[in-house]
Amino acid sequence: MKARGRFLALIAVLALTVPGCKSRPGGKPSPTAPPSVPSYVDRIPAFCKELDRTIPRLGWKLATCGGIAWKSESVSVEGRPLMWAEFGDPSSTNKTLILSMVHPDEVTPLYLGFKVVHWLKEHEATLKDSHVIVAPFVNPDGYFRKPPIRMNARGVDVNRNFPTGDWGAKAVQVWKSKLKSNPRRFPGWEASSEPETDFQENLIARFQPKKILSVHSPLNMMDYDGPSALSVDQFSREYVAECLKLRNRLRANSSGFFPGSLGNYAGQERGIPTITLELPTSNPRKADSYWKKFQPGIASMVEFKLKEDVARAEKTRPASRKVSP
pLDDT tens digit sequence for 129-182: 999 999 999 999 999 999 999 999 999 999 999 999 999 999 999 999 999 999
The domain limits of the chain are 86-303
**What are the backbone angles phi and psi of residue 154, rounded to the nearest 5°?**
-95, 10
Q: How far apart are CA 195 and CA 172, in angstroms?
A: 19
Q: How far apart are CA 243 and CA 305, in angstroms?
A: 10
Distances (CA, A) of 112 to 65, 121, 158, 231: 13, 14, 20, 32
DSSP 108-154: HHHHHHHHHHHHHHHTGGG-TT-EEEEES-S-HHHHTSSS--SS-TT
Neighbours of 236 (CB within 10 A): 15
Residues in the chain: 325
**What are the backbone angles phi and psi of residue 131, rounded to the nearest 5°?**
-130, 120
pLDDT band for position 56 (50/70/90)? very high
- Tell me, what's the pLDDT at 235? 85
Neighbours of 99 (CB within 10 A): 29
| Class of 86-303 in CATH | alpha beta
DSSP 20: T
Grouping H, G, I as helix, E, B as strand and the rest as coil, residue 72 is strand
**CB neighbours of 245 closer than 8 A, spacing ≥ 6?**
304
The angle subtended at Cα 242 by Cα 309 and Cα 92, nearest 5°, is: 55
- Tell me, what's the pLDDT at 233? 75
pLDDT tens digit sequence for 235-291: 888 899 999 999 999 999 998 889 999 999 999 999 999 999 999 999 999 999 999
Q: pLDDT exceeding 90 applies to what percent of the chain?
A: 76
How far is C-alpha 125 from the geometric centre of its chain's CA atoms? 25
**What are the backbone angles phi and psi of residue 116, rounded to the nearest 5°?**
-60, -45
**CB neighbours of 289 closer than 8 A, spacing ≥ 6?**
none
pLDDT tens digit sequence for 115-143: 999 999 999 998 989 999 999 999 999 99
The angle subtended at Cα 143 by Cα 141 and Cα 145, nearest 5°, is: 80
